[in-house]
Amino acid sequence: MSLHQVASMAAVSGGHCELAIMSSVPLRATSFSFHFPVFCPSTCSPLSRSRDCHPLPLYHQNPRRRNPEKQKVLRVDCAAGQPLKVIILGAPASGKGTQCRMIVEKYGLVHISTGDILRAEVSSGTEIGNKAKEYMDNGMLVPDEIVTDMVLTRLSLPDVKERGWLLDGYPRSFSQAQSLEKANIKPDICIVLDVPDEILIDRCVGRRIDPVTRKIYHLKNLPPETDEISARLIARADDTQEKAESRLETYKRNVEAILPLYMDLLKKIDGNGPKDVVFDEVDFLFHPFHADAIKSKKLSTVEGDSVEVCTSTVSFSTQKKWRGIPTRLNNIPHSKEIREYFYNDVLEATLKAIEDKRSRLKVEINIPELNPEMDVYRIGTLMELVRTLALSFADDGKHVKVCVQGSMGEGALAGMPLQLAGSRRILEFMDWGKYGAKDTFITIGSIGAKEIDEQVDIYILVSPQNAVGNCIINDLQAMTDAAGQCPVILINPRLKDLPGSSGIMQIMGRDKRLEYASSFINCYFFRLLYYAGTQYPIMGAIRMSYSHDYELFKRIDDPSGKEKYVIIARFPLRPTIEEINDAFEGKISRRSKEKWASGLWSFFG
């Protein structure tokens, strides 16, 4: 019987399999019995065809991937059309196992972890396990011939040929790397996770494994979700401070000899960030190999420039068609493509909210050209956004009234917000399309109950805001009360109480006014994040598109010079500064108040 026949039998038997090697492939003469983790169709989700045969499918372990029906394993092929082959290297506790789980979940590669296979041997008390135990417990490398046989055998199984492989923990020495070379086994990418020494030791000492799901936790960084899981966690025998230090030394001694062999394939990644951020970087490396060709889309700008729309987060977003946050957002003026991107993003969210019969809506979008607190604010961009919405509703046969607040107050207190100065006239003179939508389907008005018209289906209120000494909320409330069930959309409202020049801003009824203002739901929210008090560089962004969560993105400069936005957290409600800080620092739990007060990040404005 050939090795492949034996392997096939093993593959259908499910669970850990006893595999007798009787083959002429370059293995050593002695026959061993290996405990390879094999996919068990009866108990595992197809998504978890990876490490061990888990009694629980992976989507139970990761709340981000709740719907197994909709989750699709992406196929990744190398240039020759063969399934992808990946080596992942890194010091002990650099996060190899953690990242491998995520890679396998998304791409379905066969995860071959020498550490996991050896631990399975040890716990089953096999001959190999007994031999390996002593080395492992002392933080030393298991003899090459044992590990190399194991790896070459596993790599010859049919599932590997079909799905590609992800080699974790091998090669660990120059001679192991040579063994791969001799067997003509080459990866398409070699990923190196880079983490500072002190973090590595802390990760080792704090690591705990769930024996049921095999999920890797950390007492501080990745605590278990429930008390039940917490009670059953186990620590690895080699995760003491002393052994972790010795393993790290061994790694450093060996890795220098291995890296030159993969020089042209090496991709070094900063592994010292939240695991999702690290994964986004890893995932980015897989993009050129996507068989489904989810690729960055190049758009041509009016100036002939090109705008990169980052798609690296597409797979994370809950919105299937959303193409990711565009880059170069600090380039002013924004290109037409960037502006259109946001107009369409807002439109899609607004249409969905209206479809869901939501009638009090708020759009808050603060890209630089729409942020009145930045000196690159452009009223024209705001008007274009309004036109896009109004024309789209009009195309659907709806009557739309676009309302801009006029002068408020009397005598010395008369005036209107500076940001709206001239906007009414701009609206009157704008190009409303060839088909004469203006004055038929679209009318222009002001803010107040008297603006309500029976013919109108939707009201768009342009940036309603308090003027110095005057509160717009009373007029708004009267108007929306009169509008009944008609949708009223506030675009970038600024309804916070502002102190008047005379210091006499209406205090009476303040609570009621603010309560009214909060009755509008956000159907779209976008804000760039900067260090507190600065406007450069962009550190990240928050986006919410009805009816999805608020998504927090970190902006990353790719080693190739490109930038991209990667998602690092989701929130059902708009996140607080404290929550943003925590997410950027990779923390799950809330920080203490004292720390929050000196927080690193802040919303701009």
Minimal distance, residue 140 CB to ligand AP5, in Å: 6
Catalytic residue among 243, 247, 387, 570: 247
Catalytic residue among 85, 133, 172, 203: 172
Structure tokens, 487: 């949708």
Type of residue numbered 460: I
Minimal distance, residue 381 CB to ligand AP5, in Å: 38
Which of the ranges 26-34, 89-97, 307-315, 589-597 carries the binding residues for ligand AP5, by CB under 6 A?
89-97
Smaller CB distance to ligand AP5: residue 214 or 513? 214
Structure tokens, 156: 């010859």
Decide: is 94 part of the binding site for ligand AP5 (CB under 6 A): yes
Decide: is 48 part of the binding site for ligand AP5 (CB under 6 A): no
Residue nearest to ligand AP5 (CB): 115
Q: Is 228 helix (H, G, I), strand (E, B) or coil?
A: helix
Q: Give the residue, chosen from 53, 93, 180, 471, that forms a contact with ligand AP5 under the rule CB under 6 A.
A: 93
Contact criterion met (CB below 8 Å) for 390 and 442: yes
Decide: is 221 part of the binding site for ligand AP5 (CB under 6 A): yes
Q: Is 527 a catalytic residue?
A: no
Q: Give the residue, chosen from 96, 399, 401, 564, that forms a contact with ligand AP5 under the rule CB under 6 A.
A: 96
Please state, in angstroms and rounded to a whole number, the distance separating the CA atoms of residues 156 and 153: 5
β 85-90/165-168 pair status: parallel
Decide: is 90 part of the binding site for ligand AP5 (CB under 6 A): yes
Minimal distance, residue 68 CB to ligand AP5, in Å: 23
Please state, in angstroms and rounded to a whole number, the distance separating the CA atoms of residues 307 and 325: 11
β 110-113/207-209 pair status: unpaired
Contacts of residue 563, Cβ cutoff 8 Å, sequence gap at least 6: 308, 310, 327, 328, 555, 556, 557
Please state, in angstroms and rounded to a whole number, the distance separating the CA atoms of residues 59 and 40: 16
Contacts of residue 211, Cβ cutoff 8 Å, sequence gap at least 6: 232, 233, 234
Decide: is 254 part of the binding site for ligand AP5 (CB under 6 A): no
Decide: is 98 part of the binding site for ligand AP5 (CB under 6 A): yes
Smaller CB distance to ligand AP5: residue 129 or 139? 139
Q: Give the residue, chosen from 110, 141, 329, 361, that forms a contact with ligand AP5 under the rule CB under 6 A.
A: 141
Cβ neighbour number for residue 224 with a 10 Å cutoff: 17
Which of the ranges 33-41, 110-118, 503-511, 564-572 carries the binding residues for ligand AP5, by CB under 6 A?
110-118
Which of the ranges 164-172, 288-296, 351-359, 472-480 carries the binding residues for ligand AP5, by CB under 6 A?
164-172
Smaller CB distance to ligand AP5: residue 11 or 118? 118
Decide: is 238 part of the binding site for ligand AP5 (CB under 6 A): yes
Smaller CB distance to ligand AP5: residue 92 or 326? 92
Smaller CB distance to ligand AP5: residue 129 or 169? 169
Structure tokens, 573: 């409600």
Q: Give the residue, chosen from 37, 95, 108, 368, that forms a contact with ligand AP5 under the rule CB under 6 A.
A: 95
Q: Give the residue, chosen from 83, 92, 493, 540, that forms a contact with ligand AP5 under the rule CB under 6 A.
A: 92
Minimal distance, residue 182 CB to ligand AP5, in Å: 16
Decide: is 324 part of the binding site for ligand AP5 (CB under 6 A): no
Smaller CB distance to ligand AP5: residue 117 or 461? 117
Catalytic residue among 203, 236, 323, 527: 236
Smaller CB distance to ligand AP5: residue 94 or 545? 94
Find, among 230, 238, 221, the residue nearest to 275 by Cα: 221
Type of residue numbered 512: K
Q: Is 236 a catalytic residue?
A: yes
Catalytic residue among 49, 51, 65, 96: 96
Decide: is 207 part of the binding site for ligand AP5 (CB under 6 A): yes
Cβ neighbour number for residue 406 with a 10 Å cutoff: 13
Decide: is 115 part of the binding site for ligand AP5 (CB under 6 A): yes
Q: How many residues make up the chain in this entry? A: 605
Strands (E), 317-446: 360-366, 400-404, 442-445
| Contacts with ligand AP5, 269-308, as mask; x by CB under 6 A | ----xxx--x------------------------------
Smaller CB distance to ligand AP5: residue 93 or 363? 93
Cβ neighbour number for residue 356 with a 10 Å cutoff: 11
Cβ density class 125-140: b for 16+ within 10 Å, e for less: ebebbebbbebbeebe
Find, among 314, 280, 324, the residue nearest to 541 by Cα: 324
Q: Give the residue, chosen from 170, 343, 525, 526, that forms a contact with ligand AP5 under the rule CB under 6 A.
A: 170
Q: Is 191 helix (H, G, I), strand (E, B) or coil?
A: strand
Please state, in angstroms and rounded to a whole number, the distance separating the CA atoms of residues 251 and 571: 39
Please state, in angstroms and rounded to a whole number, the distance separating the CA atoms of residues 20 and 17: 10
Minimal distance, residue 531 CB to ligand AP5, in Å: 23
Decide: is 179 part of the binding site for ligand AP5 (CB under 6 A): no
Cβ density class 252-291: b for 16+ within 10 Å, e for less: eebbeebeebbeeeebebebbbbbbbbbbbbbbebeebbe
Q: Is 96 a catalytic residue?
A: yes
Scan for tokens 């069930």, then name that residue. Answer: 485
Minimal distance, residue 278 CB to ligand AP5, in Å: 5
Decide: is 223 part of the binding site for ligand AP5 (CB under 6 A): no
Cβ density class 26-44: b for 16+ within 10 Å, e for less: ebeeeebebbbbbbbeeeb
Contacts of residue 560, Cβ cutoff 8 Å, sequence gap at least 6: none
Please list the active-site residues.
96, 172, 207, 236, 247
Interface contacts to ligand AP5, rule CB under 6 A: 90, 92-98, 114-115, 118, 135-136, 139-142, 147, 169-170, 172, 176, 203, 206-207, 216-218, 221-222, 238, 247, 273-275, 278, 586
